[in-house]
Amino acid sequence: MRQIDALIAGGGSGTPSARLGDIFNPSTGQVQARVGFSSSVDLDRAAAAARAAQPAWAATNPQRRARVMFRFRELLEVHMQELAELLASEHGKVVADAKGDLLRGLEVIEFSCGIAHALKGEYTQGAGPGIDVYSMRQPIGVVAGITPFNFPAMIPMWMFGPAIATGNAFILKPSERDPSVPVRLAELMLEAGLPAGILQVVHGDKEMVDAILDHPDIGAVSFVGSSDIAHYVYNRGVANGKRVQAMGGAKNHGIVMPDADLDQVVNDLTGAAFGSAGERCMALPVVVPVGEDTANRLREKLIPAIAALRVGVSTDPDAHYGPVVNAAHKARVEGWIQTGVDEGAELVVDGRGLILQGHEQGFFVGPTLFDHVTTGMRAYREEIFGPVLQIVRAPDFETALELPSKHQYGNGVAIFTRNGHAAREFAARVNVGMVGINVPIPVPVAYHSFGGWKRSGFGDHNQYGMEGVRFWTKVKTVTQRWPDGGAGDSAFIIPTMA
């Protein structure tokens, strides 16, 4: 059976793995490969290789570093189909979604190609008598990223693109559930000309996470995952003197005003709530219609739209979404559906028990719709991370505004309306980090930045964009004064072409 190993010091795998993790094909429910968990000795080797390679990489001028990114970008496009199929086979998302995963990561690589402009410092001439002051951005050194299963291509590129382009050496620990694409990305970076030791991959579970957070050579750590683990990563990393950004979970709301185009809203909701089986922190699992009439009309349109959704294997080109990642997650999602029922929400569409002929062991969950969900329900307060949409009815705009503002998570939110004043007021007042106005999944483009508030994000910097540049670099400020030897000083010689 195929085994996925670490990529250390340009291609050498780690020590023989004492522990192995199963990699499933979610469409069939069968184990298709195994990943060898790296040891602390492997991490020490990777850190040593990174420490040895990083100074020369940092001394390489930014344009030359960018050329590696340009070549990597070209290789990504050449290998797009291969990578998408590999990603889909381990995660379960359909191939079209897998390509979207890759393309959103590619956009951050493209931003990183122009990062030389973002590294320019500030300069003040004459800050004092004969004194000039200037600043420069320098890389941190050896840094690391810990990434989740739901975007095994995009989120690693969100991290290692800006980190490497700014002159750092990067150690990646991807999810043990779907590690093949992250390793393949690192191989393509080497093919693009990246020196050995600048991007390495180690594998594992909590033991490796703790080893990264405790390692004295690693100066900064970026994390994306659940909020409880994000909080843990942030606290442990900061206690060890590291710079940490830790992005957590979400419970994003979509506010539907009475004047919204409901046909467009329903189209947006079916993609935002159920696409990628709901396994994304920017999914839209809660819809908040304002007014009973709006709620009733929206529900009437949602039911047939949900019935028309096709759930299929990851290779089905006609499927709207595929299976969830593994059996444990399928059981977790279905457990939350039962919790919603037990708490008194109205189960309008039940996605449990979905079986595809010929794929009876696959990890499928059908689209599920709840109505009359209330804020006191645990199924509302917690992140389900599956194809479950909840309707929370609000009598007015102010109540609708309070729902996402008071929720423990503050990742993303959307409002659907034709009223510019309502949209402007909502965007200004809502206590959430990313806002969409008639945009259901407001993930910012690569030259802005991604990050939520409250329990959706820990740390002072967001992902990618200029926030990413600031996270992966440190500012050095120089104050200088040159002694005046006089115009006749023989040491002052104007060079000539002679």
CA–CA gap between residue 81 and residue 75 (Å, rounded): 11
With residues binned 3-state (H G I as helix, E B as strand, rest as coil), the percentages for the chain, rounded to 5, are 40, 20, 40
User: pLDDT truncated to tens, each residue of the chain (498 aa)?
Assistant: 899 999 999 776 666 778 999 999 999 999 999 999 999 999 999 999 999 999 999 999 999 999 999 999 999 999 999 999 999 999 999 999 999 999 999 999 999 999 999 999 999 999 999 999 999 999 999 999 999 999 999 999 999 999 999 999 999 999 999 999 999 999 999 999 999 999 999 999 999 999 999 999 999 999 999 999 999 999 999 999 999 999 999 999 999 999 999 999 999 999 999 999 999 999 999 999 999 999 999 999 999 999 999 999 999 999 999 999 999 999 999 999 999 999 999 999 999 999 999 999 999 999 999 999 999 999 999 999 999 999 999 999 999 999 999 999 999 999 999 999 999 999 999 999 999 999 999 999 888 999 999 999 999 899 989 999 999 999 999 999 998 765 555 555 555 654
CA–CA gap between residue 48 and residue 428 (Å, rounded): 47
**158 close to 101: Cβ distance less than 8 angstroms:** no
Active site residues per annotation: 281
Strand, helix or coil at 171? strand
CA–CA gap between residue 239 and residue 119 (Å, rounded): 28
Tell me what pLDDT residue 447 has. Answer: 86
Structural domains of the chain, with CATH: 2-248+456-479 (3.40.605.10), 253-437 (3.40.309.10)
Q: 79 Cβ partners below 8 Å, 6+ apart?
A: 184, 188
CA–CA gap between residue 391 and residue 172 (Å, rounded): 38
- Token pair for 146: 């810990």
Tell me what pLDDT residue 498 has. Answer: 47
Amino acid making up residue 65: R
**27 close to 314: Cβ distance less than 8 angstroms:** yes
